Structure 1
């Protein structure tokens, strides 16, 4: 799985003008399931995200995890994280998991975050979504379970 984490002061996702998910201070997490990913992959990624020390402590050092700060997460499915731009100028997305598998894994990732104690809302899989955020830092981290 691939994930792009953005530390935010707030984030929301709307579909057809209706807010379907939001979070306060915490993380906006864009997630892409890849072929071969499993529930264990989703759970391992959620565990990694929940423990990453991306938030400042009292001394201003990035020493705290989302769990330690009580922050929340907004999880949005984004198959375009699997973009292949190696041939020509039009990205290919055949490296993303099939939609049926991707939706299941995306929801399993969000559920695993919740099981770990992170308050997490989601976007709407497969919908045209509008994502709004205020990036805090800015701080943006790329995670890929294939890369370790």
Structure 2
């Protein structure tokens, strides 16, 4: 599983002019699922996302997690994160999980993060043409890969 995590002051997902999820301070998480991903990778990544200390403490140091600040998460499925770009100019998505595997893992990640934060995680719509608006705070952007 690969995630691009952005610390945001606000973020929102829109599908066909309808807002499917919006947050104020927290994390925008773009999630890519690989064919070989399992519940093990999901649990590792969920724990990391809830505990990742990238929010400022009173001294201005990145010492607080999204859980510590009572922040929110907007979770967006994005298979293009699994792109292979080494050869040629057209990305290959051969390692990306097929929808019948990726969608349940994406939905489970939303439920798991909701449980870890004790609040509803906001989400996009799997497979939809989503428009994401955000204000990156910092900017702070981190890439995590459960295979590394």
TM bracket, shorter-chain basis: over 0.9
TM-score by length of 1: 0.97
Map Cα deviations across residues 57-110 of structure 1 (whole Å, 9 max, x no partner).
011000000100000000000000001111110111111111111011111111
- Tell whether 2:109 aligns with 1:123: no
1:144 matched to which residue of 2? 145
Task: Quote the offset at 1:35 in angstroms.
Answer: 1.3
CA-CA distance at 1:115 after TM superposition: 1.0
For residue 66 of structure 1, give the secondary structure of its aligned residue in structure 2: coil
Cα deviation for residue 118 of structure 1 reads: 5.2
Are 2:24 and 1:59 equivalent residues in the alignment? Answer: no
Q: Does 1:135 align with 2:126?
A: no
Asked whether the 8 Å contact 1:82–1:93 carries over to 2, the reply is: yes
Provide, for residues 92-144 of structure 1, a one-character-per-residue CA deviation record: whole Å limited to 9, x for no partner. Answer: 11111111110111111111111112531100000000000000000000000
Q: Take 1:140 and 1:70, find their aligned partners in 2: how far apart are those partners? A: 19
SS of residue matched to 1:107: helix
What is aligned with 2:48?
48
Pair 1:108-2:108 in alignment: yes
- Name the counterpart of 1:75: 75
- Consecutive aligned runs of 4 or more in structure 1 exceeding 2 Å deviation: none
Unaligned segments of structure 1, at least 5 residues? none
5+ residue gaps, structure 2, are none
